[in-house]
């Protein structure tokens, strides 16, 4: 396979001319028609170059011109299709638009924070901030709420897919035109405005991309030049059993050079032309294996090599930008380097965190919570790097498809999400997410106590920001801890974690995080997964230490369900052996509460 193949396809504005290029190796003829030639049925002919590509220049075409290709296929049929590399379209079944990359980035020279400093916020453009009933939200409406994200402390947004899809409402995981940006959201310039505005606020932008399938509907790529086998998709797709995915027979042919280049170019486009700071790739198991499992019998070696190629290119050209994998099989090779046989992703969504932690906080009976399972989730590690995993309790997948928000799951069918148990136990999940080793991620509305489940036509209710201002403040304060904005919790950004207590009887877990030296920058987190309070609770520790309370999820300012409890503002260790440690601290614990203590370093 030729991974160095380069082509110049699509519509390119050069001075007063527009050149058009299309890959159609089996076509008998190709022409371009548009408003510049009055939508001529014959069009302006393109010429073959002998390698499967067709090129030509159309008189009168310019930036903003609408056009389509007229393709007489190998089967003799005449097809009129949108350009597979169109940067902009009128709609998914409309016309391509000649687009010139002349956006003014002004003084944007943003570099994303270190990966250990990131707090990611996943959002869906169509529902994040809806301004007009019956219409989806836009990139500009997201920009209007950046001040909220800044106040919350978010420094990275994960934007769900924005490639042009069928209709105006979608999650985005049905890309009809992979190079075009959804027009209903604001098109390519709208996305650039969002990236530029986010950068100005110190927020990185990671874009969700979908390469495990295309479509399945409104696909200009389908049988584009008339060649296909087994009634499958033609040159862009596998035409045998390998085409099968849960979303239709639309898996790209990762073994065909031109398709590999198409996907590779697409990935790099978002980082180069749109200045995104990273990519999140949807469900890569379906790029690695036909079934999405681990059976070597349906392994797609060319899918593995494509992932490596994309990640190698990004590491070489943009070493500070991140790639995020949704794999969910617990495989370290996903984030191992390509040199060691890995796929080369910077981090991966960790199913071994979200599922057990979510189960622990949703389970209604305290006695049924398993602290050993929770501790295993805490310490999960990939590729010998704490930040090679992304941890969360809510994502678009976790709050849909038969599942709801954590607070809704706890409340049950008859309850309201602002009840005692929902508020308290969801807070436990938030504390663990933002103090655990890994890159923490929140889903839109999580800090607003959003209810029900995620739908592409159910916008966030921003009135909840006022109604649940205390919950929002809790998340804001937690994020400040995670980002060390108060200057005393740097340990939460470190590689090191020590489990100090796993008490399955009383349902308590305690752990120490540190960056360089636990005796200098240690951070102590204690989580009480029970509805009982404790006083004089002992936690063993290895060194003489003095601690200051920096966060208490039970603070009455966060919720009316919190009650004043005698949580110790300071802890002083004593030289008494506890659980195999030479020292211990004695503390009080509120019901269903998370407490964070920062080390007060001893003077030399």
Q: Confirm whether 585 is domain-assigned.
A: yes
CB-CB neighbours of 458 under 10 Å: 13
pLDDT of res. 162: 98
Give the domain-ending residue among 97, 118, 143: 97
Instruction: Supply the pLDDT for residue 413.
Output: 80
Query: Is residue 259 in a domain?
Result: no
Model confidence band, residue 204 (pLDDT cutoffs 50, 70, 90): very high
Residue in the block written with tokens 């209903």: 184
Decide if 64 is inside a domain: yes
Confidence of residue 79 (pLDDT cuts 50, 70, 90): very high
Boundary (domain end) residue, out of 73, 97, 121: 97
Q: 402-442 pLDDT, tens per residue?
A: 889 999 999 998 789 999 999 999 999 999 999 999 999 99
Q: Would you place residue 563 in the very low, low, confident or very high pLDDT band (cuts 50, 70, 90)?
A: confident
3 confidence band (pLDDT: 50, 70, 90): low
How many Å apart are CA 595 and CA 578, to the nearest integer? 20
**344 part of a folded domain:** no
Q: Give me the domain span that covers residue 41.
A: 10-97
With H, G, I as helix, E, B as strand and everything else as coil, classify residue 529. Answer: coil
Q: How many domains does the chain have?
A: 2
Using the predicted structure, report yes or no on whether residue 6 has a pLDDT greater than 70.
no
The C-alpha atoms of residue 331 and residue 322 are separated, in whole angstroms, by 18
Mean pLDDT of the chain: 96
**β-bridge mates for residue 539, sequence order:** 585
Identify the CATH number of the domain in which residue 519 sits: 2.60.40.1180
Question: What's the confidence (pLDDT) of residue 4?
Answer: 46
Within 13 A of 122's CA, how many CA atoms are on the CB side?
25
Name every residue whose Cβ is closer than 8 Å to that of residue 500 and which is 6 or more positions away in sequence.
510, 511, 512, 524, 539, 540, 541, 579, 581
Asked which of 68, 97, 126 is the last residue of a domain, the reply is 97
Per-residue pLDDT tens for 570-581? 999 999 999 999
Closest by CA position to 598, among listed 542, 514, 495:
514
The angle formed by the CA atoms of residues 374, 549 and 542, to the nearest 5 degrees, is 65
CA distances from 271 to 155, 205, 307, 315 (A): 18, 10, 16, 12
Please check whether residue 581 lies inside any domain of the structure: yes
Find the CATH number of the domain harbouring 81: 2.60.40.10
224-257 pLDDT, tens digit each: 999 999 999 999 999 999 999 999 999 999 999 9
- Confirm whether pTM is higher than 0.85: yes
Rounded-to-integer distance, Cα 290 and Cα 286, Å: 6
How far, in Å, CA of 250 to CA of 259, rounded?
13
- Judge residue 365's burial from the number of C-beta atoms within 10 Å of its C-beta, 0-12 exposed, 13-18 middle, 19 or more buried: exposed
- pLDDT number for residue 16: 86
Considering the domain boundaries, does residue 234 fall inside one? no
**In this structure, what is the dihedral angle of CA atoms 117, 123, 129, 135, given to the nearest 10 degrees?**
160
Mean pLDDT of 362-381: 97
Residues 6+ apart with CB under 8 A from 240: 229, 230, 232
d(CA 146, CA 128): 11
Going by pLDDT thresholds of 50, 70 and 90, the confidence category of residue 267 is: very high
For 519-538, write each residue's pLDDT tens digit.
999 999 999 999 999 999 99
Query: With helix as H, strand as E and coil as C, how does 269-335 read?
Result: HHHHCCCCCEEEECCCHHHHECCCCCCHHHECHHHHHHHHHHHHHHHHHCCCCEEEECCCCCCHHHC
pLDDT digits (tens, 9 = 90+) for 317-371: 999 999 999 999 999 999 999 999 999 999 999 999 999 999 999 999 999 999 9
- Are the CB atoms for 82 and 222 separated by under 8 Å? no
Q: Is residue 88 part of a domain?
A: yes
Residue 2 pLDDT: 53
In angstroms, rounded to a whole number, what is the distance separating the alpha carbons of residues 236 and 215? 12
pLDDT on residue 293? 93
Within-domain flag for 592: yes
Q: What is the pLDDT of residues 118-171, one digit of tens each?
A: 999 999 999 999 999 999 999 999 999 999 999 999 999 999 999 999 999 999
């Amino acid at each position: 396979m030729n991974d160095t193949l380069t082509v110049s396809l699509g519509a390119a504005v050069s001075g007063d001319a527009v050149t058009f290029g299309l890959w159609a190796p089996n076509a008998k003829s190709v022409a371009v028609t548009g408003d510049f030639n009055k939508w001529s049925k014959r069009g302006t002919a393109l010429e073959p170059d002998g390698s499967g590509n067709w090129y030509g220049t159309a008189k009168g075409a310019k930036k903003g011109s609408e056009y389509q290709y007229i393709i007489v296929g190998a089967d003799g049929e005449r097809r009129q299709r949108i350009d597979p590399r169109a940067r902009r379209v009128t709609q998914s079944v409309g016309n391509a638009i000649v687009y010139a990359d002349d956006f003014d980035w002004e003084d944007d020279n943003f570099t994303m924070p270190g990966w250990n400093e990131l707090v990611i916020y996943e959002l869906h453009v169509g529902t994040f901030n809806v301004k007009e009933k019956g219409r989806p939200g836009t990139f500009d409406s997201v920009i209007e709420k950046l001040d909220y994200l800044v106040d919350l402390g978010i420094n990275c947004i994960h934007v769900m897919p924005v490639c042009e899809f069928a209709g105006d409402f979608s999650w985005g995981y049905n890309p009809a035109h992979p190079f075009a940006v959804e027009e209903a959201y604001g098109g390519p310039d709208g996305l650039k405005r969002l990236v530029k505005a986010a950068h100005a606020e110190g927020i990185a932008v990671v874009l969700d991309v979908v390469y495990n399938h295309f479509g399945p509907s409104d696909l200009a790529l389908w049988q584009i030049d008339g060649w296909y086998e087994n009634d499958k998709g033609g040159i862009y797709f596998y035409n045998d059993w390998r085409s099968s995915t849960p979303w239709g027979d639309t898996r790209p042919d990762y073994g065909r050079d031109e398709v590999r280049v198409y996907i590779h170019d697409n990935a790099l486009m978002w980082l180069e032309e749109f200045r995104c700071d990273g990519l999140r790739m949807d469900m890569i198991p379906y790029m690695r294996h036909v079934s999405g499992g681990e059976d070597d019998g349906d392994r797609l070696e060319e899918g593995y090599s494509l992932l490596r190629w994309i990640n190698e290119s990004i590491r070489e050209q943009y070493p500070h930008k991140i790639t995020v994998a949704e794999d969910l099989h617990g495989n370290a090779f996903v984030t191992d380097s390509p040199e060691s046989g890995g796929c080369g992703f910077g981090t991966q969504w960790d199913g071994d965190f979200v599922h057990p932690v979510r189960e622990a906080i949703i389970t209604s009976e305290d006695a049924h919570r398993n602290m050993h399972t929770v501790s295993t989730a805490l310490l999960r590690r990939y590729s010998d790097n704490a930040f090679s995993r992304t941890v969360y309790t809510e994502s678009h997948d976790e709050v849909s498809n038969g599942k709801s928000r954590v607070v809704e799951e706890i409340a049950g069918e008859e309850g309201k999400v602002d009840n005692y148990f929902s508020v308290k136990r969801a807070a436990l999940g938030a504390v663990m997410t933002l103090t655990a080793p890994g890159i923490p991620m929140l889903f839109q509305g999580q800090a607003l106590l959003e209810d029900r489940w995620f739908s592409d036509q159910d916008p966030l209710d921003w009135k909840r920001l006022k109604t649940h201002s205390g919950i929002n403040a809790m998340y804001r304060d937690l994020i400040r801890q995670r980002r060390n904005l108060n200057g005393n919790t740097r340990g939460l950004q470190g590689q090191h974690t020590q489990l100090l207590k796993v008490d399955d009887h009383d349902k308590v877990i305690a752990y120490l995080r540190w960056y360089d030296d636990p005796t200098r920058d240690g951070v102590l987190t204690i989580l009480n997964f029970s509805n009982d309070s404790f006083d004089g609770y002992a936690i063993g520790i290895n060194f003489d230490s003095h601690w200051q309370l920096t966060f208490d999820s039970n603070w009455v300012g966060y919720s009316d369900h919190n009650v004043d409890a005698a949580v110790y503002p300071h802890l002083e260790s004593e030289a008494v052996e506890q659980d195999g440690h030479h020292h211990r601290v004695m503390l009080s614990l509120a019901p269903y509460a998370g407490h964070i203590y920062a080390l007060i370093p001893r003077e030399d």
